[in-house]
Amino acid sequence: MKGKLIVFSAPSGSGKTTIVRELLKDKRFNAEFSVSAATREKRPSEIDGKDYYFLSAEEFKRKIENNEFAEWEEVYENQFYGTLKSEIERITEKGNNVIFDIDVAGGLSIKKLYKDDCLTVFIMPPSIEELKRRLLKRGTETEESLKKRLAKAEKEMLYADKFDKVIINDILEDAINEAKAVVSEFISLGKD
């Protein structure tokens, strides 16, 4: 039996990555993380095929032309990120489920392509004020980057209703438990 696709999207600072890590640790979900392709420079600590599939801009563009991506985006000029269809097939062919930690546009593109085999979950911060507080707590934001992230978050939150499920991450433990329940219900469908 082929695996299913589980997409998590959220504004930066919503707790999405923490929730995804918890799901990946839970063996009941038989889940693997989808490794994205990227054209940016590989950092010394990164491993090709584990952190990202590192491609040249030319290779990436060739794969776009050959329709090899489930979704992709040009973030900056000649700096691309995307999800290879072959990565999804590699995981689902083994019967494992694929978990994505991906931006809103990418998540909706994957849903459009894989339809009923894909669950989309939007992690919503309790409020923009709380999101701002969390981002400030990280200590990594400049005044300018904070403004950009919050403006982007407000835009992304407008798409929440296009997702199958919305989980409000007010209390992290509750959000993790809710995510586990939603994923558990989704992957058990069709096994009867």
Taking only the tens place, the pLDDT of each residue in 129-164 is 999 999 999 888 899 989 998 999 999 999 999 999
Report CA-CA distances (Å) from 70 to 33, 67, 114, 139. 15, 8, 9, 34
Q: Would you place residue 191 in the very low, low, confident or very high pLDDT band (cuts 50, 70, 90)?
A: low
pLDDT averaged over the chain?
94
Separation CA 171–CA 20 (nearest Å)? 15
With tokens 């090709």, the residue in question is 48
Q: Would you place residue 192 in the very low, low, confident or very high pLDDT band (cuts 50, 70, 90)?
A: very low
The predicted structure's pLDDT at residue 190: 56
The predicted structure's pLDDT at residue 1: 78
The predicted structure's pLDDT at residue 90: 96
Whole-structure pTM value = 0.90
pLDDT exceeding 70 applies to what percent of the chain?
98
CATH code of the domain in which 162 resides: 3.40.50.300
Q: DSSP letter at 48?
A: B
Of residues 166, 165, 182, 171, the one with CA closest to residue 26: 182
With tokens 């590192």, the residue in question is 54
Rg (CA), the chain: 17
Give the mean model confidence (pLDDT) for residues 162-189: 96
Give the mean model confidence (pLDDT) for residues 172-188: 97
CB-based burial label for 173 (10 Å; 0-12, 13-18, 19+) = exposed
Taking only the tens place, the pLDDT of each residue in 46-91 is 999 999 999 999 999 999 999 999 999 998 899 999 999 999 999 9
Taking only the tens place, the pLDDT of each residue in 91-134 is 999 999 999 999 999 999 999 999 999 999 999 999 999 999 99
67: left (phi over 0), alpha (psi -120 to 50) or beta: left
Considering its fold, how many domains does the chain have in total?
1
The predicted structure's pLDDT at residue 38: 96
- Which structural domain, as residue segments, surrounds residue 30? 5-188
